[in-house]
Amino acid sequence: MIEKRATRSLTLLHTNDLHSHLEQTAQIAGYMKEVRRRVPADSLLLVDCGDFLDRARPETEGTDGGVNRNLLRMIGYDALLPGNNEGLTYTSGQLDDLYEGLSAPVVCANFRPLRPDRAVSWLVPSLRLHKAGMNIALIGLTAPFNDYYELLGWHASDPFEAAAEEVDRLRRESDVVIVLSHLGIRFDERLAETIDGIDLILGAHTHHLLEKPLYVGRTAICAAGKFGRHIGHLNVSRNPSSGRIDIDGGCVPMEGRKEDEEASAIILSGREEAKRRMSRVAAVLDNPLDWAPDRESPIAVLLAAAVRKHTGAEIGLVNAGQLLSGLPAGAVTEETIHAICPSPINSCNMRLTGRELLRTMEESLLPEFYELEIRGFGFRGHILGTLCYDGLDAVADLSLPPYRRITEVRVNGEPLRPDREYIVGTLDMFTFGVGHVGLKEGRNVQYFLPDFIRDLLSEALNDEALLLQTRYPRLRLARQQPSRSSSTQE
């Protein structure tokens, strides 16, 4: 039985889903320094709940996460939770480089190496701390994307089973049990409903902002939104009479706050290092590759061909919105490729019937699809864009009614058969039902990690055969409609 004793208040600062918004992170660093000046170290706890970095940010990409690592070290967190952006976009060796040697342990109870003989010194399932006169238990949980994780050498077990086991083990020896969660708000609510003994859940992943704690039973749920626009600031104390844990506070907006100079210097150094490392010439083009989001364009066709080749598929299918611009003739650097294709998205293949494929192709001719704005799921572009293909040829008459516009499709020279299954090489985000929901129904999905689609594009830019093939259209329009936009990077 824990002795009922008077305690001081614990100041708990928490961040989540910063996604390499480095300037906002510099604001948070300044706020944390202010708090440190007035709160004793033994009464202060700093934690991050995952997705601290994002490889769409050039400073992160060009330093292999080094700029983020330096900010973590400088801010001085007490515990870190791996989000899917850390776990899914880096190999196990790269994660070792990122986390090894940091003063803050990575806490996650349902994340471990796939090989049981692989030792990972930086990872622990839970953490015990003594602060503000209280025994505090921290338990980490992350979303179990095992179709991806197991290709990268990790296994993520059921978070509810892992939580129940850790809470049962730690509850009797702890005044406060806190879960760091990168599961999302609905899973956090379910966690609070189904597992007794959790005092506080600090959430992430679904980018939800809870300006004040949300209570499910006796469990408080808190989260600080996304991109460093807020920081969670809580006061946690143990009532000496009832033994109940009292939690108050909420989220503090960072808008208008000054960036910390030390953090800004780290970001500037990372930017300079990234520019040096990404200045390598990846390809030299004899001809420009144009791009448009709302119609077939050579660079998007090249990406479709690269995905088809990499996945060994009969058909390649990508959305033009994965690209943000075309390429001029001449030298193309790694920095430029990253700028026009920033999304940390992987390729996959799946089986679709001709009927399913045809419906998706029809959708792609409609503005409500190709103008659709998308957020998350690895996508770092702006709009979905039209679909571009390799391995098939089609004819469309845009004067016909929707879903009856494609008048002919041939796959590698043969007429499309509605009931036949085709192996389609495409993008992993479609398997989450993003944009074209029908692609989520693809069967026998196989993911290809760790290469991103920009790695495939970089390789294709040096493949003369693929470049030559981009000169002829895959989708011929029997009746043209005016293009809404077109661009080539200057």
Which CATH number fits the domain that encloses residue 286? Answer: 3.90.780.10
Does residue 7 register a pLDDT over 90? Answer: no
Question: Which of 487 and 116 is assigned the larger pLDDT?
Answer: 116
Can you tell me the mean pLDDT for 419-426?
98
Q: What integer pLDDT is reported at residue 488 of this predicted model?
A: 34
The pLDDT of residue 437 is 87
Are 409 and 361 in contact by the 8 Å Cβ rule? The answer is yes
- Hey, which bits of 254-376 come out as E strands? 281-285, 315-319, 330-333, 346-353
Residue 119 in this model has a pLDDT that exceeds 90: no
Does 130 reside within a domain? yes
Residue 487 lies in a domain: no
Same domain for 298 and 246: no
Residue range 269-283: mean pLDDT, rounded = 98
pLDDT at 2 over 60: no
Q: Which of 455, 434, 421, 437 is nearest to 349 (CA)?
A: 421
Could you report the per-residue pLDDT of 129-146, keeping only the tens digit for each? 999 999 999 999 999 999
Asked which of 211-225, 246-260, 461-475 is least confident by mean pLDDT, the reply is 461-475
Given a cut of 90, whether residue 330 has pLDDT beyond it is: yes
pLDDT digits (tens, 9 = 90+) for 79-95: 999 999 999 999 889 99
From 222, 249, 274, the end of a domain falls on 274
- Choose the final residue of a domain: 274, 293, 320: 274
Query: Cα–Cα distance between 145 and 148 in angstroms, integer?
Result: 6
Domain boundary (274, 296, 324) is at 274
The CATH number that applies at residue 47 is 3.60.21.10
Please state, in angstroms and rounded to a whole number, the distance separating the CA atoms of residues 477 and 397: 6
258, 302: one domain: no
Q: Are residues 236 and 355 in the same domain?
A: no
Give buried/exposed letters for 224-254 (b at 16+ CB in 10 A, else e).
bbbbbbbbbbbebbbeeeeeebebebbbbeb
Span 359-382, average pLDDT: 92
Flag the least confident range among 6-10, 378-382, 395-399. 6-10
Question: What confidence score (pLDDT) does residue 31 get?
Answer: 98
* pLDDT above 50: residue 482: no
pLDDT mean across residues, the chain: 93
pLDDT at 480: 54
Mean pLDDT, to the nearest integer, of 344-357? 96
Q: Is 486 a member of any domain?
A: no
pLDDT above 80: residue 490: no
Residue 259 clears pLDDT 80, i.e. is over it: yes
Q: Are residues 213 and 296 in the same domain?
A: no
pLDDT at 5 > cutoff 70: no
Residues 266 and 299 in one domain: no
Domain extent for 452 = 279-479
- Are 221 and 291 part of one and the same domain? no
Same domain, 252 and 390: no
Query: Is 282 a residue whose pLDDT tops 90?
Result: yes
Same domain membership, residue 371 and residue 249: no
pLDDT score of 270: 98
Whether the Cβ atoms of residue 85 and residue 240 lie closer than 8 Å to each other? no
Q: Tell me which residue of 68, 63, 61, 67 sits closest to 82, measured CA to CA.
A: 68
Domain count, the chain: 2
Question: In the predicted model, is pLDDT for residue 481 greater than 70?
Answer: no
Query: In this structure, are 267 and 289 located in the same domain?
Result: no
In this predicted model, what pLDDT tens digit does every residue of 220-231 receive, in sequence order? 999 999 999 999
What is the rounded average pLDDT of the residues 418-427? Answer: 97
Does residue 241 fall inside a structural domain?
yes
